[in-house]
Structure formats: structure tokens, C-alpha cells
Amino acid sequence: MNDYRAGVRLVEVRRCGIVESVHTGHVVVVDASGQVRRRAGHPDGTFFARSALKPLQALGMLRAGWRPDDDGDLALACASHVGSAMHRERIAAALTSAGLDEDDLGCPPELPMGTAEQRAHLAAGLGPSRLAMNCSGKHAAMLRTCLVNGWATATYLDPAHPLQQALAATVAESCAEPVAETAVDGCGAPLFGVSLTGVARAYSRLATATGGPEQAVVAAMQAHPALVEGHAEAVTRLLRAVPGLVAKDGAEGVFAASLPDGTGVAVKVDDGAARAAEAVMAQVLRELGVRADVLDELVAAPVLGGGVPVGEVRALRLP
């Protein structure tokens, strides 16, 4: 990871017609065969794709024998949820059905990630909890996968644990490349370093699956976009607006998506800005011929001055 190279100019922030900031980064687009069709920056370096890997981890858990209670349960395993009561209650129910509880989760206690959800949480007199942590759905699924296989639950976050070994193997197979680095994600789970090109290929494979656990992951995310994140977040809006799309973002400016024809896209913004990653993904999808109002909204977000728009955060056309 020490050889990180900065990418190309992808987003400009203009205030009153003056460029105030720029975001640089990396983009790759592959076709259904996995061939690279467009690229910007250095997408073949090693990156931590963060929560964009969750659908692949969910795939690995299904392959290891986990059987979710329903599609919503599976969608939550892929989620970076905002911590609403809806999310927390469903995850608590999934734990209870397996004889587990919140204390079995290895993710740290946190307040809900969503602003409105956090306000409601605090107004109800609630504090940080493991259920409210945005990765709790993934962790609940990890624990249940351990139970199915008779694996230890207390050590399920150890990279040497059979669960994590199985998930690393799934990520490597899906990306068609070995895991180059293993680190610790914000939720405490092992995090696998791969290239953006590998991530784009993995999403392409998800989109073109005609059955099995891959198609189950895609169907769950598409059926329950509000469980995957929330109601107003970019991923949720894209899943709702673009038929057949598979999409998931991650911390530090990562965004991955695929279209029904097997086109896979992966984005990484150098400075980790989510606003830039959303804009770049929307721009790439537009350049690929996708039409939806949400893309126009994400490509150019307003910059405010005195409460009124005086500029915009706008993605540039790919070089």
C-alpha cells in the first residue's frame, strides 16, 4: 500500500464561477468478459474497497452455508445502513432467531450514521449500540455463518478464522486476482486489498449471474434498497432509479456498480470524499448511456452561500 499513486482530476468544486477545490481519483470500466474498456488514473494498484466488498462477503457467507431468514436479511448483510429503528430491529431479530444477541457482535458501539436517524435515536434517550453501527448486518450474518459450520464465534474477526479465510477466497475468486493486503476495517472485520479493476470485474460477475448465490445477493439488494443504506443515500436512490443496477459504496471515496449487460464500474477518490465518488459514479453511468433523474442530481450537487446555490460540485467527463 506504500506505492499509492494519485489519480486524475475527476471533480471540480466551483463557487461563484471560481474553482475552489478539486478531487482526483481513479476509475475503471469493464465489459461482461472482464476486459477493460475505459480507465482513468491507476486502477490496477491495490486499494481497500471498504464496504463496496460487502456483497462479495455476503456471497462468501452464502457459499459457506448461511441461510438468511429472508431477502431483507441478506440485503442487510450487504448494508452500510443508517441505523434507523427499522435496521436495528431487523438485525436484532436475526440474532435472536439464531440464539445470539447484540453483545455477540464484534463491531463497536456507535450512534446511527444517518443524521435524521441519529437525532431520533438521541431523542429517544438511546446511546451508542452495536446494532446501530452501520456494519451490524454483516456482522450478524458472519456470526450465523459460524454457527452453521460449528466455527467459534468469539474469534470470528480473526483473519485466520475459517470464516475470514473463506471470505478472502471468495473476494479473490470474484475479483479474479489474489488478495494483496489484509487490514482491519472500521467495523473491526478483516479488510481485503484488491485492485479497482478486480472490483469492477467482481460486480460484472454479480450482474450477469443467472442463478445461485450471486443472483440471490443481487435480487436482495434490488428488492430492499432502503435496507442496503437508508432512504436518501446515493446507493439507495440509484438502486431504486436504475433497473437492474447493482451498486454499493464504501468509506474513503469508493463506489462500485454494474449494469445488467455485465458492465462493471469501480471508482476511488484520492481524498476519500463521498461527495466526489457519488458524482463520478453518476457521470460514468451517464457516459455509459444510463438515463435517470438521480444521475443529474448526483453529477452536480449545489454549493451554497448564504443558504442559496452559488456554485456546484460537478463531475468532469472521463479523460
User: Are 109 and 128 contacting, i.e. CB atoms less than 8 angstroms apart?
Assistant: yes
How would residue 231 be classed by pLDDT, with cut points 50, 70 and 90? Answer: confident
Q: Which amino acid, one-letter code, is at 55?
A: P
What's the rounded Cα separation, in Å, for the pair 98 and 143? 9
Q: Residue 232: is its pLDDT beyond 90?
A: no
Residue spans per domain, the chain? 8-66+157-315
β-bridge mates for residue 269, sequence order: 25
Residues 236-290: tens digit of each pLDDT: 999 999 999 999 999 999 999 999 999 999 999 999 999 999 999 999 999 999 9
The predicted structure's pLDDT at residue 2: 56
Residues 14-49: tens digit of each pLDDT: 999 999 999 999 999 999 999 999 999 999 999 999
Reported CATH class of domain 8-66+157-315:
alpha beta
Helix (H, G, I), strand (E, B) or coil at 47: strand
What's the rounded Cα separation, in Å, for the pair 117 and 104? 23
CB within 8 Å of 114: residues ≥ 6 apart: 82, 83, 84, 230, 233
Residue 310 sits at φ, ψ, to 5 deg, of -130, 10
Helix (H, G, I), strand (E, B) or coil at 18: strand
Q: How high does pLDDT run on average in the chain?
A: 96
Helical H segments across the chain, by residue range: 54-63, 71-77, 85-97, 115-123, 136-149, 162-175, 196-208, 212-223, 225-228, 234-241, 274-287, 293-299
The predicted structure's pLDDT at residue 3: 74
| Angle at 104 (CA atoms; ends 101, 108), nearest 5 degrees | 110
Number of other residues whose CB lies within 10 A of the CB of residue 152: 11
Residue 29, Ramachandran bin (φ over 0: left; ψ between -120 and 50: alpha; else beta): beta
What's the rounded Cα separation, in Å, for the pair 176 and 203? 11
Number of other residues whose CB lies within 10 A of the CB of residue 317: 9
The Cβ-side half-sphere exposure at 263, using a 13 Å CA radius, reads: 16
pTM, to two decimals: 0.96
What are the C-alpha distances in Å from 132 to residues 82, 83, 126, 224, 232? 8, 5, 10, 18, 17
Q: Residue 1: is its pLDDT beyond 70?
A: no
| Region 219-245 average pLDDT | 94
